[in-house]
Structure 1
């Protein structure tokens, strides 16, 4: 587990890809928008540290970084957490549009 003053990182218990990690603030905050500036900096620091670790161990070809803020945006856990999802060549048929896929009819442009 990686951590810093405000956040910690763990592997997701239901990963969508090998190496899927969660970066979680230690202080309760419902969404990313409720974090302090320092907590956001610490979250960003851990995203980069986790990426470095995953680059060395799994060598993914890319990443998706995601935050679900609010129930209508898909948030199911009422505590801020950032998903760092490694992506691998061929893991989906057509990766174009990436996170735009949260609204499937708008993914391709």
Structure 2
């Protein structure tokens, strides 16, 4: 997939002036959502000032959508910016991943585990 511009409307569970929310097609955990820019932007650094200002509001909305159906114990918020950072779809999207006690042996380090030897400190 090169971007999210051709998603069927029924996949979109929320939309505001700047972003829309969908369920992740390959969820890390139950409730994993993607927040995607309405306008085609490559990554976080390509968002406009107004989009960056409004992103926290949409993250909160996504959190509430998750809480309406699931009972997570925590969350990871993640954005991959660039090929080296793992980005594969070059249309801004922010992952909101609910975390559950026991979903991994030792969650300490959180997103630091993207480089396995750096997660434990």
TM-score range, shorter chain: over 0.9
Q: How many residues align?
A: 109
Partner of 2:17: 5
Q: CA RMSD in A?
A: 0.9
Following superposition, the deviation at residue 101 of structure 1 comes to: 0.5
Unaligned runs of 5+ in 2: 1-12
Partner of 2:29: 17
Q: Distance in 1 between matches of 2:92 and 2:47?
A: 8
Following superposition, the deviation at residue 9 of structure 1 comes to: 0.5
Q: Distance in 2 between matches of 1:43 and 1:54?
A: 17
Q: TM-score, normalised by structure 2?
A: 0.87
- Is residue 2:50 matched to residue 1:38? yes
1:98 to 110, 114, 117: 110
Q: TM-score, normalised by structure 1?
A: 0.96
Partner of 1:61: 73
4+ aligned runs moved over 3 Å, structure 1: none
